[in-house]
Chains A and B, each alone.
Chain A
Amino acid sequence: MLEIRWHSRAGQGAVTGAKGLADVVSTTGKHVQAFAFYGSAKRGAAMTAYNRVDDKIIMNHEKFMAPDYVLVIDPALVYIADFTAHEKENTVYIITTHMTTEELVASQPKLEGKKVFTVDCIKISQETIGKAIPNTPMLGALMKVSGMYEMDFFKENMIRVLKKLPQKIIDANMIAIQRAYDEVK
């Protein structure tokens, strides 16, 4: 069982990101689950979304999760959200920030000694999609760090997932995914 927790602000697309990832993973025959915690969700409120992936059907519906990957798609959440909750020894963190990994760890001591990767999904999405929607670039970074799928396969499937969007936006998302894949460190 592979478990992923997203930290996001409502409106940044974590739910869409989690569902998109589930859709792509499902095409490979694996079983998936994507869900989120909603409160009285206001745009900008801190929220979490979740993925589970397994070879057998997923029966577990508890919200509790000890994640293998933690994806943080808003730079400020590492200072205000409990993003290390229920971490495991090997939990991998991929965090959106304009800082280098060293600078980030220095600014947030909770990350010391952890497996931390950084990528500026906000900047990438602003420069490619034209809006701060950091969800799809984070998936590009996840593909690089996890080695889950080949980029061609992943992008081909993401085009299908995003098919209701205008072609221009789909193209911009593909560039964003590739840039995050190349830039994550």
Chain B
Amino acid sequence: MAETMELRDIEVWDGNMAASQALRQVQVDVVAAYPITPSTPIVENYGNFTANGYVDGEFVMVESEHAAMSGCIGASAAGGRVATATSSQGFALMVETLYSASGMRLPIILNVVNRAIGAPLNVNGDHSDMYLGRDSGWIQFDAYCPQDAYDLNFIAFKVAEDHDVRLPAMVHQDGFMTSHTAQGVHTMTDEQGFAFVGEFQPMNDMLDLDHPVTHGVQTEEDWHFEHKARQHHALMTVALPKIQDAFDAFEKYTGRKYNLVETYNVEDADSVVICMGTSVETAMEVVDELRAKGMKVGVVGIRVFRPWPLEQLAEVLKNVKAIGALDRSSPHGTVGMLYNEIAGTMFNTGTKAVLTNYIYGLGGRDLTKAHLVGIFNDLKANVDAGKPTTPLQQYIGLRGPKLSFF
């Protein structure tokens, strides 16, 4: 039996510690990991907890991120509660195995501490790795602060391990801006934290020798399409309602409320920015300051990135007149992902909001409140003109001449 750790009601934790404490409290059986900045402390802390008797689990040291996820796949197929963490190039090396995990319907939890992908080499936060994962068949949750990183891990296990879902899930947080920023985190006791997720219930596990199964089979054209369709079907029809159920249960349990789409002052807003990660919270503070000056502005935060909450977003945005989609990843040859997704979400809805795109914060470049004020001023001009008054895509916070496209 694992030792209990006494926690204060509010602990001052950074996002990494918050995530690793959640992994401890749900008593993850196996963590196979290859550490990489800035996610290293998550698996390092788990190793520490395991060595000191706070987890009845096993830490498996491997030789690469590809091996880390492969180890997780094996442990999960064998019938254990499994998690790991990675970032950036490590995430990129894991990509092949991410598709295996989701295709084999294994409920692994991957903490992704978002970081730029080189070259040039950069350890700081942007969303390049998060975007890279978006077609991999995983559920993707996005945390904006250490509290979210703690809470969303419990929610991720509850959703992923549900026998109607059986899909792996990522919990994303911003490298350094969340992972290495200490803030007050409301904790659950070990007993409460574990009880929210409950004992792991294996399904078709390989170690159930009375019911032999095969994992990771070859199908070719006779069955591959049907398998992939079932996977997509689960994401499209089961995942979002189950996530909503988990959010509701978590709110009842802790008083902390999460939504598929987070909104702040959107109801009567003329213009909104849509973004992810820590930027959502900074934008909320800017909205407070601009509202005090009479500007009708709001913020939309994507909480669940995959499956994409298309209907919920369309509903939230139906009365908005101008939208700024803020992407923290270089689209390398087109508009930003959030611009594309929002355009796809709004196109058939009859809402004729003016949509523009901002690329910001690559490699950890600061998104300041002053930048956000500038964006809201652009959006106000778009509302007044009823059409874009700026290029469709602008770079924010870039040194040198202003860069824009379309």
Report which A residues bind B (CB closer than 8 A). Answer: 18-19, 22-23, 26, 31-36, 38-40, 58-64
The answer to whether A38 touches B177, judged by C-beta atoms less than 8 angstroms apart, is no
| Contact for B182 among A32, A39, A61, CB less than 8 A | A32
Bound-complex Cα distance A63 to B367 (A)? 8
When A26-B12, A62-B368 are in contact, do A19 and B182 touch as well, CB less than 8 Å? yes
Interface residues of B (CB under 8 A from A): 10, 12, 14, 123-124, 145, 174, 176-178, 180-184, 278-279, 281-282, 284-285, 366-370
Option from A18, A33, A40, A62 in Cβ contact (under 8 Å) with B183: A33
Most buried by B among A26, A40, A59, A64: A59
Given A31-B184, A61-B279, answer yes or no on A38-B176 (Cβ-Cβ < 8 Å): yes
Chain A residue at minimal CB-CB distance from B179: A35
Q: Which residues of A contact B180 (CB under 8 A)?
A: 35-36, 38
- Residues A22 and B12 in contact, CB atoms below 8 Å apart: yes
Interface residue from B145, B174, B181 paired with A34 (Cβ < 8 Å): B181
CA distance A32 to B13 in the complex (A): 10
Once the chains bind, are A40 and B285 in contact (CB under 8 Å)? no
CB distance from B282 to the nearest CB of A (A): 5
Query: Can you give 15 A-B contacts (C-beta < 8 A)?
Result: A18-B182, A22-B12, A22-B182, A31-B183, A32-B12, A33-B182, A33-B183, A35-B176, A59-B285, A60-B369, A61-B145, A61-B177, A63-B368, A64-B366, A64-B369
A159 to chain B, nearest CB (A): 15
Docked-complex contact A61 and B181, CB < 8 angstroms: yes
Contacts of A58 in B (CB 8 A): 183
Residues on the B chain within 8 Å of A32, using CB: 12, 182-184
- Nearest-neighbour CB distance to chain B for A1, whole angstroms, equals 10
Tell me the bound Cα distance from A58 to B282 in angstroms. 9
Residues of B within 8 A of A60 (CB): 281-282, 285, 369
Task: Give the distance to chain A from B297, nearest Cβ to Cβ, in Å.
Answer: 15
Give Cα A62–Cα B285 distance, bound, in whole angstroms: 11
Which 5 pairs between the two chains have the least Cβ-Cβ distance? A61-B278, A35-B181, A59-B281, A34-B182, A63-B366
Residue of A nearest to B264 (CB): A59
A135 and B393 CA atoms in complex are apart in Å by 45
10 extra interface residue pairs, beta carbon distance < 8 Å, beyond A18-B182, A63-B177, A64-B369: A22-B182, A26-B12, A32-B184, A34-B181, A34-B183, A59-B284, A60-B282, A61-B181, A61-B367, A64-B368
Give the distance to chain A from B111, nearest Cβ to Cβ, in Å.
19
Q: Which residues of B contact A18 (CB under 8 A)?
A: 182
CB distance from B176 to the nearest CB of A (A): 7
Given A35-B176, A60-B369, A62-B367, also A26-B10 (CB < 8 A): yes
- For residue B256, give the distance in angstroms from its CB to the closest CB of chain A: 12
Q: Which residues of A contact B281 (CB under 8 A)?
A: 59-61
Query: In the complex, what residue of chain B is closest to A52 when comparing beta carbons?
Result: B183
Closest to A34 in B: B182
Q: Which residue of A lies closest to B285 (CB)?
A: A59
Question: In the assembly, what is the distance between CA of A61 and CA of B173, in Å?
Answer: 13
Chain A: CB-nearest residue to B176? A38
